[in-house]
Chains A and B, each alone.
Chain A
Amino acid sequence: MSENSILDNIEIHKDFAIISVNPKLYPLSVIYSAAYWLLDRVHIIVDGDPETEILIEIRPKKDEELDLKEIGYEFNDELINYSVYTVQATRNQKLRERIIDNALANIEPVKTGNMNQGNVRCDVPNQNQAPDPTRFNRPNDEQDISRVASYRNRREDFLKQ
């Protein structure tokens, strides 16, 4: 956009610039979002008439050398950016809601409380199945003792031969 453009909506002053926005093209929420985007670099005050013309005053923060025209163009870009985002979000709203509903429907409820009272934790697999009977046998239980004794007897018999 050249400085002679009839669409130029940026008015540069000595220490600040005024950007005028047509509220019929951009809703106030989009204007707030675009202004918020620039807050880390410039001070902003919103004024004007929300029905006819909204004025955005941008003023560089202290110790910052900024090209206010460039910031103004960036603001215009952000207006379009947030407008597109808003339109797309509205269009995709039902789809997003269905995706979230499906995702939530597939999650089993998490039960909390004392594990001894039959509650179930969702992060422990196969907890309702009976434990493997061989897994927790102690090395000195009766079965193992008889097995070891039998082995020793057979070994002694072999050595005697």
Chain B
Amino acid sequence: MDSLTFEKDKCTIKLNDRFYSKEVIEIAINSSKENIKLTKEGMIEIKGKKKAELELKARDFCDKLLSIIQEN
């Protein structure tokens, strides 16, 4: 499962929209303090410098999505 893609200064998360709805992603982005945005293609972009930090932020964001799904 290659959900995370790393580029120079950003990480792109491509999630299955049948499990993670756009509404849930928007709730998570709005409540997040990080520099995260949802692209028109439905991908999530997180800006950052170090790959390790980006990966941690991305995986934490995915966990947050699961929490929102479960708690709502």
The yes or no verdict on A and B being binding partners is yes
Whether the Cβ atoms of A47 and B67 lie closer than 8 Å is no
Number of interface residues of A (CB under 8 A): 20
Q: When A39-B63, A59-B59, A62-B56 are in contact, do A47 and B70 touch as well, CB less than 8 Å?
A: no
Q: Which residue of A lies closest to B56 (CB)?
A: A62
B51 to chain A, nearest CB (A): 13
Chain A residues, CB < 8 A from B20: 46
B63 to chain A, nearest CB (A): 5
8 A Cβ contacts from B40-72 to A: 56, 59-60, 62-63, 66-67, 69-70
Whether the Cβ atoms of A48 and B66 lie closer than 8 Å is no
Chain A residues, CB < 8 A from B63: 39, 43-44
In the complex, A28 Cα to B15 Cα: how many Å?
16
In the complex, A43 Cα to B19 Cα: how many Å?
16
Whether the Cβ atoms of B62 and A44 lie closer than 8 Å is yes
In the complex, A36 Cα to B70 Cα: how many Å?
7
Would you call A149 an interface residue if the criterion is a C-beta within 8 Å of the partner chain's C-beta atoms? no
Number of interface residues of B (CB under 8 A): 16
Whether the Cβ atoms of B66 and A35 lie closer than 8 Å is yes
Binary contact readout B1-33 vs A (1 if CB under 8 angstroms, 0 otherwise): 101000000000001101110000000000000
Chain A residues, CB < 8 A from B60: 43
Whether the Cβ atoms of A36 and B19 lie closer than 8 Å is no
Whether the Cβ atoms of B1 and A36 lie closer than 8 Å is no
In the complex, A57 Cα to B60 Cα: how many Å?
14
Would you call A32 an interface residue if the criterion is a C-beta within 8 Å of the partner chain's C-beta atoms? yes
8 A Cβ contacts from A1-45 to B: 18, 28, 32-33, 35-36, 39, 43-45
Interface, chain B (partner A; CB < 8 A): 1, 3, 15-16, 18-20, 56, 59-60, 62-63, 66-67, 69-70
